[in-house]
Structure 1
């Protein structure tokens, strides 16, 4: 596999190797990829936590009688238009 890096990124990889933390450029790249994977997992967990919080708020609103009855496609489209007027159904 061949990877092209910008001069700035290549300098950063070389600096990591020269620091003694890594033996070679491949180790730096592998560590960066592991970090990227961990970051993506963390972002996904944060999104799920936020979604759960929003769901809980919605459940509490329903339990307090603050729900909106949707009894037709037109009522649903009207609600969507109020929530996002840029999107037309």
Structure 2
């Protein structure tokens, strides 16, 4: 596979090699792909955790355990007001 690299990416790779942390462009690319893979795994985990939280919240709402939006907003505003009063 042949990949053309943008000039700014080439400069970045050369700068990384110049630091002495990497010996060649392949090492820099390997690290970049490892980080991309890690990012994808973490994103997939975040999506799954978020879906689970949404499912829990829906179940709570169906049982009548939720709060309406106005109540939540008022509670947040109340916390801000109390925090502001403490600062004064």
TM-score by length of 1: 0.69
Residues of 1 paired with 2:20 and 2:55: CA distance? 48
Alignment of 1:44-59 (within 5 A): 44-59=44-59
Is the helix fraction higher in 1 or 2?
Answer: 2
Unmatched tracts of structure 2, length 5 or more: 67-88
TM-score by length of 2: 0.69
Aligned to 2:17: 17
Unaligned runs of 5+ in 1: 67-89
Secondary structure class of the residue paired with 1:22: coil
Give the alignment of 1:1-89 within 5 angstroms.
Answer: 1-64=1-64
Deviation beyond 2 Å, 4+ runs, structure 1:
none
CA shift at 1:65, angstroms? 8.1
The count of corresponding residues between Structure 1 and Structure 2 is: 66
